[in-house]
Structure 1
Amino acid sequence: MSHLGSSELPGILEFLRQAEKLKITYRSGYTSDGRTESVAEHTWRLCLVALALEKHFPDVDMGRVIRICIIHDLGEALHGDIPAPEQEGSPEKSENERNDFRELIASLSESHKEEMLALWDEYENASTPEAKTAKALDKLETLLQHNQGQNPDSFDYAFNLDYGKKYTKGHPVIKAIRKHLARETKEKARGMNNK
């Protein structure tokens, strides 16, 4: 069992205080009651998605997927979320988020910083089956929220139909969920057009 030294504790608590900002950092999606979704809420349900689908990914370490999911948007605590439709025009997004992430974890021990940065890089580069799964589930959770949310009349459902496709076409379970969510998106868009 590891002993938590008094010199390490303040750094961990500072990191947790900074990470709390994800509770008040908002995304472009809406909850089912019409409230803007926070990054923390997205991350929580993303981890729940991974847990719920765990048995369908026997060759993937879902514990690692969940760890990756927990940290994948932490950098947004400092400068916020860039809505997905705006990310294509922002090639520096990854570099900026990595710098923000490094700043966020600066108070941790060197070994802890290295471990967390390695997880973040793994996700960003989609360099392992676990990172690819986390990225796919991240896109699917966003689509699920867009379909479930009480969105404004101006919401662009057509965007959902292409969002994250390059990450969601490998695994059969991912493809099945994507297909189902696309069907829901089309129904939701039709409903908006009939208003």
Structure 2
Amino acid sequence: MEQTVRTDHARLEAILAFVQSAEKLKDTLRSGITAQGRAESSAEHSWRLCLMAMLFDRELRGYDCLKLLKLCIVHDLGEAISGDVPATLQVEGDGRAEQERADLVILCAPLPPDLREELVALWDEYSAAASPEAVLAKGFDKLETMLQHLVGQNPPDFDYRFNLGYGAKHTARHPLLKRLRRLVDRETQKRVEAR
């Protein structure tokens, strides 16, 4: 028999207010281009990242796959406020992570304290790659971006060589990520040689 937790009205309203605010992620555009030639949103990127993580559940026995999915969902939520920085323009130490975390804290303000703390803690864990699941989430995130570069209707001057170095340290931290990286690099190399 299924049990339902009784939740007070104010908590329900707070959660719905947050969900409505998070909707902004649907309109937060990224530099990635879809196969049909339009800019993808951060929400679409996060959805496909979650799909990818879910599909490797069998290969990730022993990992907390629910936690992995939570990390994937939360990783770009802060972009709903200040937007995305294209992968090609990202520089380590540029303050982007601090801004994204601050934006996430603002976005989470309507939530009840327990949920607000959970989401921010998940983001911190992801950002620091502080758990095996966070290592996987970061690696899958880089791979999803690279896959989008391969499928997207990119401009004629798009430099596919960018993919060959992008996220290398994050995709080298787990055997599954390494194997996937080799497959993506192989496809990227074909694009480079075709130019």
Task: Give the Cα–Cα distance (whole angstroms) in 2 for the partners of residues 165 and 62 of structure 1.
Answer: 23
Deviation at 1:90, TM superposition (A): 5.7
SS of 1:135 mapped into structure 2: helix
- Give me the whole-angstrom Cα distance separating, in 1, the residues matched to 2:157 and 2:5: 53
Q: Secondary structure at the match of 1:28?
A: strand
Structure 1 distance, partners of 2:71, 2:8, is 26
| Separation in structure 2 between the aligned mates of residue 174 and residue 72 of structure 1, nearest angstrom | 18
TM-score (norm 2): 0.95
The count of corresponding residues between Structure 1 and Structure 2 is 192
Q: 1:29 corresponds to which residue?
A: 32
**Aligned twin of 2:110:** 107
Change (3 A) 1:95 1:144: same
Tell me the SS of whatever aligns to 2:57.
helix
The residue number in structure 2 matching 1:71 is 74
- Cα RMSD after superposing both structures: 1.2
- Cα distance in structure 2, aligned partners of 1:170 and 1:75: 25
Tell me, in whole angstroms, the C-alpha distance in 2 between the residues paired with 1:14 and 1:156. 41
- Identity across matched positions, percent: 47
Taking the aligned partners of 1:118 and 1:41, their CA distance within structure 2 comes to 23
Report what 1:125 is aligned to.
128
Answer with 10-19 or 130-139: which moved more.
10-19
Q: Specify the alignment match of 2:177 in structure 1.
A: 174
Unaligned runs of 5+ in 2: none
Candidates 49, 54, 57, aligned match of 1:54:
57
Residue 162 (structure 1) aligns with: 165
Give the ranges of 4+ consecutive aligned residues of structure 1 lying more than 3 Å apart after TM superposition.
none
Give the whole-Å Cα distance in 2 for the aligned partners of 1:117 and 1:73: 11
The offset of 1:189, in angstroms, is 2.4
1:62-83 CA-to-partner distances (Å, cap 9, x unmatched) read 1110010001000000110001
For residues 166 and 75 of structure 2, what CA distance do their matches in structure 1 show? 18
Report the 3-state secondary structure (helix = DSSP H, G, I; strand = E; otherwise coil) of the residue aligned with 1:7: helix
Name stretches of at least 5 consecutive residues in structure 1 with no aligned partner.
none
